[in-house]
Amino acid sequence: MDFITKQLKNVTIAGHGQAGKTRLTEQLLYVAGVITKPESVESGKTVSDYTAEEIERHISIYASLSHLVWKDKKLNFWDAPGSSDFVGEVISAFRSSEMALMLLDGRNGVQIETIKLWRDLDRRNKPRLVFINRLEEERSIAETIPQDLREKFSCEPCSVSIPMGKGDSYEGVIDVIKGKAFFVPADGEKEKEADIPEKYMAAFEEARGILAGAAAEGDDDLFVKFIDEGELTQEEIIHGLTIALENNRIVPVFAGSVVKNSGLVSLLDFIADIAPSPENALEKLKGDADEDATTIKISPEGNLTALVVKSSSDQFSGKLSYLKIVTGTLNADSEVFNLADGRKEKIGKLYTSVGKKLIEVKKLVAGDIGIAAKLANAKTSDTLSSVQNAKPLIKLRHPEPVFSMAVSAKEKKEEDKMNELLNRFSEEDRTLSFQYNAETKQNVLSGMGELHINILLDKVRSTAKITIDTAVPRVAYRETIQRKAQAEYTHKKQSGGHGQYGRVVLAVEPLPRGDEYSFTNAVFGGAISKNYIPGVEKGIKEAMQNGVLAGYPVVDVGSTVLDGKEHPVDSSEMAFKIAARNAFREASRSAGPILLEPIMNITVWVEAKYLGDIMSDLSSKRGRILGQSPLGGGIEEIRAQAPQAELIKYAIDLRSMTSGTGSFETSFSHYDPISGKIADDVIAKAKEFMGDYLRED
């Protein structure tokens, strides 16, 4: 069945871990007839969690795309992970969806990941609805959640379905729009409409009035009618809610029990009838700067524009690129341009998916999300276009990694295999970074948390059948000087024939932090010929690559060559380079060399009850608290600066202190001097791996 843009609905199912997102996806597919039996996460047989690592750990790691047809609409659902370690997957899903379905555990209400995701949706101005799960549980606090949403997020929640009882007395839900009850179905059955029992009529009428009022806010004519008559028809409510939701003025709230298959018909009906379609939704085209970005409407008209929102590898199909079609139509067996590099990409087969099951299609229309197999060069965030010189779409924005490990293959011969896989996986997941740090002589793998990194390394080990060792990454320190100094060095070497000769007199002085380097030629009278001066500067730059204390790069030093001497036969640029290099080292030793350590900006988000512990812990890590502010919803933001060396394992520390609920981001700020025992320890450790860089010439 072919669909046009206005028949599409793209929804990300998001929420705190263990809220039931994967099971909800499973039940929706079952209700729509896509699968014949819903499975539990524990069974390892769900549609969404199909990778070996997800089955083993019983958690969602990757955003999984599935679709179903409901009321002649194609509904694309992303089942997104709940752990902040896998936020990159959530970003891909949010970017390609017009709406989010926030799943809340009725026993716990609004949890910290819910708050963080909600804030992200606010930044994107993305509509959302809420489904309150687990009403069959005795500990359900579902009746308090709408007010909690209002207080925490200053939003306007309005109940579209309300529960009939809770815990053992839970009977089902009332669809407030239809004015019908949906009782919990028997095992293997699906929900059916029924009349509302008399004992629930008062609750229904109250909810109906509130919902009609919310719908009236979406349209001036409806507002006048509602004020005059106090009610709206079902069709008018649907019309008003459609406008209000598209403009992100309301938060529709649903109740139900995923495991009992209850409340899902109302949810699907609402998404099909009312949730925003991609038609006329906006996407941004890249400008020279963010403020120069322009917007375009998602439309079947015009040239093809598509965004690669996610990449993965499949052992049978190979590389898979998940695409959101923004304008035009993408046809199978066609050619497009990758605007990242201007090269052509050959489009072979196209697919839609139900989890790992790929369903071949001939085309993908504007607004749809689908998959292209085996694209040669396309990476996540690339724009594909039918026009070579078109403007690309704004790239997906991912947070900086917060946790790092140094990694190495146990067997040297396996190093290339490890590097190849880690490079490939970091291209697929843009919250990963894998690079060789030439300063610390380590391969460093960085990601969003310890779990994120461990799962990736397990995947590499099992894929390549290799052993990988891990270690704490070394910190990239710097060296500088504290005062002016002068030194001279003569390089003289004679071994028959032409020898080597060069004498350099050099002065060094500290520069303001951040000025990095300066070089001045103050030689007069031709003591050093002009053609040898480049050799002098090269020698200084070489010396600055490895300082005299611990072999770290030297920064913020100005060098002035004052004098020198050359030989008419034996002098050369090489001789003066060697002389200058050693003169710089001698001068540095006399100039009060010190170590500099990287200082990081850190922002931490925690529940208010952990505020004191977090601030004390940061202070104990030589941190400086810059500020703290409440964000609402019981969440506090702490802003601080702390040495990178103290934050290497902060992801683990924060998880331990906050029972896994806290999160943080870091960015580089500046370098600060260190001395005493801290500096002595750094120097001692550096000597273990710097080796030749610390030897005397």
**Average of pLDDT values for 451-459?**
96
Q: Residue 634's pLDDT is what?
A: 81
Within a domain: 397: no
pLDDT digits (tens, 9 = 90+) for 598-613: 999 999 999 999 999 9
Residue type for 574, please?
M
Within a domain: 675: yes
| Least confident span in 74-78, 134-138, 490-494 | 490-494
Q: Residue 499's pLDDT is what?
A: 87
Please report, rounded to a whole number, the percentage of residues in the chain having pLDDT higher than 90.
Answer: 87
363 and 333 co-located in one domain: yes
**Average of pLDDT values for 482-499?**
89
pLDDT digits (tens, 9 = 90+) for 176-200: 999 999 999 998 899 999 999 999 9
Does pLDDT of 289 surpass 60? Answer: no
Out of 592, 625, 642, pick the residue that ends a domain.
592
Does pLDDT of 24 surpass 80? Answer: yes
Nearest to 174 by CA among 145, 205, 146: 205
**Average of pLDDT values for 153-167?**
95
Q: Residue 183's pLDDT is what?
A: 98
Query: Tokens for 192?
Result: 């059916």
Local confidence band at 568 (pLDDT 50, 70, 90 cut-offs): confident
* 583: CATH: 3.30.230.10
202 and 98 co-located in one domain: yes
SS in 3 state form for 22-59? HHHHHHHHHHCCCCCCCCCHHHCCCCCCCCHHHHHHCC
Out of 385, 414, 445, pick the residue that ends a domain.
385
Within a domain: 689: no
**Average of pLDDT values for 476-499?**
91
213 and 310 co-located in one domain: no
pLDDT digits (tens, 9 = 90+) for 519-540: 999 999 889 999 999 999 999 9
**Average of pLDDT values for 589-606?**
97
Q: Calculate ∠ Cα 153-154-158, nearest 5°.
A: 95
Within a domain: 123: yes
Query: What's the whole-number average pLDDT of the chain?
Result: 94
Query: Tokens for 93?
Result: 């899903």
227 and 303 co-located in one domain: no
Nearest to 402 by CA among 95, 653, 117: 653
Residue 372: Cβ within 10 Å count: 25
Domain residue limits at 374: 283-385
Does pLDDT of 695 surpass 60? Answer: no
Residue 265 in 3-state DSSP? helix
Within a domain: 395: no
Residue 389: Cβ within 10 Å count: 8
Query: Tokens for 694?
Result: 């610390």
454 and 508 co-located in one domain: no
263 and 287 co-located in one domain: no
Instruction: Count the domains in the chain.
Output: 5
Local confidence band at 302 (pLDDT 50, 70, 90 cut-offs): very high
